[in-house]
A = this chain, B = another copy of it.
Amino acid sequence: MTKELSSAAKLRDALEEEIVTGQILPGARLDEVSLAERFGVSRTPVREALHQLASAGLVEIQPRRGATVTELHADTLVEMFDVMAELEAMAVGLAARRHTEADKKAIVSAHAECKRAAKSGDVDRYYYANEAFHDALYAASHHAFLITQCRQLHRRLKAYRRLQLRVRHRVSASLAEHQSIIDAILAFDQAQAAACARRHIVVQGERFGDLIASLKSLAAAE
């Protein structure tokens, strides 16, 4: 059932996963023949996969000079968090107005899993639970196009979001923010829900900025 994908599509997904999770580092060169050999295919599907990733912004292709994994500067990333905040605020605001009983259940249970994950102290588990929670929020907006936009950007920020979760006390703060979002949604308070969601993401951007700053000062001290 899931084996109907073309090798180009499989390649694209595999590469995307490796880039998004940081297995392939930003700035790394993506050589067509090496990739072709690694995946046991010819250069043709490799090229297709690379071009598709380029359209998604994950890799950059310079004519006649090959592809590299996109390097996101700290300020670009912060900007991406800005836009993510706005989109998510919109989604959550809509969710406050439009959510069904099923949506409510999904959100609450995703949040419960987040709590369990937080208590367990397993950051990765929290990461996945968090992802499911946000997905439930998007779904409750019942706004198909917005959902795709949110998912796309969310995915691009995946690796960095994960990083930012390692900041001290971030997980418990995140959890509290989730709670306030849920409260606003269940009260059908659109404005409040949107505001909470926006703050939730903006905070992530800020923490991420802090992280970058501290890394920079560390590097400078060496």
Q: Tell me if A116 is interfacial: C-beta within 8 Å of chain B.
A: no
CB-based contact B76/A145 at 8 Å: yes
CB-based contact B63/A145 at 8 Å: no
Known: A55-B52, A55-B56. A4 touches B63 (CB 8 A): yes
Q: Interface residues of A: mostly helix, strand, loop or mixed?
A: helix
A47 to B48, CA, bound (A): 8
CB-CB contacts below 8 Å: A130-185 with B: 143-146, 149
- Residue from B76, B90, B149 in contact with A144 in the complex, judged by beta carbons closer than 8 Å: B76
With both beta carbons as reference points, the residue of chain B lying nearest to A57 in the complex is identified as B148
Contacts of A90 in B (CB 8 A): 82-83, 86
Question: Which size bracket describes the interface of A in this complex?
Answer: 20 to 34
CB-based contact B55/A145 at 8 Å: no
Q: Tell me if A80 is interfacial: C-beta within 8 Å of chain B.
A: yes
A residues with CB within 8 A of B = 4-6, 9, 44, 47-48, 51-52, 54-56, 63, 76, 79-80, 82-83, 86-87, 90, 143-146, 149
Q: List 11 A-B contacts (CB under 8 A).
A: A5-B63, A51-B51, A52-B52, A76-B144, A76-B145, A79-B144, A79-B146, A82-B90, A82-B145, A82-B146, A83-B146
